[in-house]
Each structure stands twice: as C-alpha cells, then as structure tokens.
C-alpha cells in the first residue's frame, strides 16, 4: 500500500490537515510487511467477512481487502473518513462505518452479510485493549480474533496460571478462547511511534460451558481476582453458602485454602459446574416440596 510509509503518512496528514489524537491510540502502521503479516495471521479468505476496528489511514484495511471477501472497518474518528475515501478507493469490498467499538451493536454490522465466516483482524487502539477483547469474545460472533496490542497485554493473555502476569483478563481470555502469541512488532513499525512494544495475538473462541454454568464461572472468576491473595474460600464467602462451596470444591477437587489468583480455567469450570449442579438440585427439591 503506497501510503503505508513514514513519507506516505506525512503526505496524507498534510493533504487532509490531519492531526494525530494520542488519546485515541492513533499510532498508524508504516511497515507494509507488518500489515501483510497481521492480515496473513488473521487467516481470512474470500468466504470471510473481517471486522477491522480502527482503520486509521487504511494500511491494514487494504491488506485485509486483498485477502478477505469483505471488510467492515469501524472507525471512531470522523476526520479520517475523507482520507479513507482516497486510500481505499480501489477496493469495492470495504464498508467503512462510524462508531465506537464499545458502543456499537456489532451483530447489526453484519446484517445481510452472505459470507459464511466472520473474524476480527485489527491493530487495536491500545487504551481499550482489555475491554474490546472481552467484548469481542463474549459476543460469540467471531471464529477468530487476531489483534495487535501492547506486548504487556499479550503477555497476560498467554501467561501461565499462577504466574505473576496471570490475572482476571488471562483467566477470561483462556476460558473464552484458545490463545496464541503470533509475533512481536517493534516500535519502528508505527508513526508516531508508541511508547510500548507491541505483539500480535490470535484468540480462537471455543464453547466451553452451558449458559447457567458460564454465569457461575464468570461470578467465581470475578470473586477470586477481586481479592486475589486471599484464599479461594475467603474470596467466595459472599458468593456461596459455606456448605455449597465445600461440597462443590470437593466435587471439583479444589483445595479452597489456596490463593484465589491460582485458579486455572479448568478448575474454575469444574467449580462452576459443581455449583450449578448443587444449586439446581436444591432448587428442584424446594419446588417439589
């Protein structure tokens, strides 16, 4: 893409009087090789519609449009629209929409879409990394989510359970999806250069629990990380009667004297299933009485 270079970005800024807004995470790619690598990592083909969050000047959008059936590019900053009209003029499979990813009805963006596959590939605005990834995962709309994010956030996604980096975000990402760090990207690939290192991660959603069990998993996850250094028993005190917790922990084979932060995805799921089983049984018994 001819605009994906330091000179290209500078020329577009001058032509359109565009000024970068730091608070919107506007660090644009100036490395066509990196844009191509990220688009490749997204694994989209002509039967796939890709949601791109934040097209910027369209460096990633162009790389995606060459590979995918259709690209829906959602951009918050209106002042980028005239630029995108120019840089994406040659592509008839791109739809640019205005909106905040955190406030947009994402399903509605795909109304009437005929492609059988749907994924997200994007160089995310870093200030909303965690919220955006969790929103995309919990939407259950996408087969794959491939995003460039700050390296620190990527390390949390692929952290080992119980390690220093393992946190609520790690637990949730690895509950909703299989996770992989694909490659790292140097600051020199952007203009202006960000203050942090970047990495590309791929999350492949998997269906793990039924709705009621999932609701318990999410409540348990929140509770154990709200007071992560306390024991699991302590963390879950306000959520479950002591008897229910003791019974569920025994069924799930979990020592509740361990720290909340040590809970793995598999353990959280086993606990959620056991709690659901117990609460459902006691509810059924009460109804019969």
From the number of C-beta atoms within 10 Å of its C-beta (0-12, 13-18, 19+), residue 240 rates as buried
Contact in structure between 124 and 151 (CB atoms under 8 Å): no
DSSP string, 161-221: TTSTT--HHHHHHHHHEEEEEEEEE-GGGEESPPSS-EEEEEEEE---S-HHHHHHHHHHH
Nearer to ligand SAM, 109 or 227 (CB): 109
Number of residues that bind ligand SAM (CB under 6 A): 24
Hey, how many other C-beta atoms are within 10 angstroms of the C-beta on 262?
Answer: 17
Nearer to ligand SAM, 72 or 263 (CB): 72
Q: Is 117 helix (H, G, I), strand (E, B) or coil?
A: strand
Report the nearest approach of ligand SAM to the CB of residue 9 (Å).
8
Nearer to ligand SAM, 59 or 254 (CB): 59
Nearer to ligand SAM, 25 or 260 (CB): 25
State the pairing for strand pair 70-75/48-53.
Answer: parallel
Binding residues among 54-113 for ligand SAM as defined by CB under 6 A? 54-57, 59-60, 74-77, 80, 100-102
Report the nearest approach of ligand SAM to the CB of residue 228 (Å).
29
> Which residue has the closest beta carbon to ligand SAM?
54
Residues 83, 183: Cα–Cα separation, whole Å: 29
Site map 115..154 versus ligand SAM, x via CB under 6 A: --------x-x--x--------------------------
Residues that bind ligand SAM (CB under 6 A): 24-29, 53-57, 59-60, 74-77, 80, 100-102, 123, 125, 128
């Amino acid at each position: 893409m001819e605009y994906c270079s330091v000179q290209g970005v500078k020329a577009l800024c001058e032509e359109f009087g565009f000024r970068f807004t730091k608070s919107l995470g506007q660090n644009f790619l100036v490395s066509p090789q990196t844009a191509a690598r990220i688009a490749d990592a997204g694994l989209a083909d002509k039967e796939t519609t890709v949601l791109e969050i934040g097209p910027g000047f369209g460096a990633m959008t162009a790389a995606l449009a060459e590979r995918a059936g259709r690209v829906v590019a959602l951009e918050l900053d209106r002042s980028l629209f005239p630029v995108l009209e120019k840089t994406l003029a040659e592509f008839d499979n791109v739809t640019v929409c205005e909106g905040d990813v955190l406030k947009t009805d994402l399903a509605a963006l795909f109304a009437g879409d005929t492609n059988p596959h749907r994924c997200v590939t994007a160089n995310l605005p870093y200030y909303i990394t965690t919220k955006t990834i969790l929103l995309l995962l919990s939407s259950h709309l996408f087969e794959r989510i491939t995003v460039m994010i700050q390296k620190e956030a990527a390390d949390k996604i692929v952290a080992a359970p119980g390690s220093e980096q393992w946190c609520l975000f790690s637990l949730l990402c690895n509950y909703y999806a299989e996770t992989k760090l694909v490659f790292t990207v140097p600051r020199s690939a952007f203009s202006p250069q960000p203050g942090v290192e970047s990495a590309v991660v791929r999350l492949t959603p998997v269906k793990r629990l039924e709705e009621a069990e999932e609701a318990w998993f999410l409540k348990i996850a929140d509770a154990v990380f709200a007071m992560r250094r306390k024991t699991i028993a302590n963390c879950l005190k306000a959520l479950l009667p002591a008897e229910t917790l003791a019974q569920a922990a025994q069924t799930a084979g979990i020592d509740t004297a361990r720290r909340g932060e040590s809970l793995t995805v598999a353990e959280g799921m086993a606990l959620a299933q056991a709690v659901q089983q117990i609460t459902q049984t006691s509810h059924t018994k009460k109804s019969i009485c």
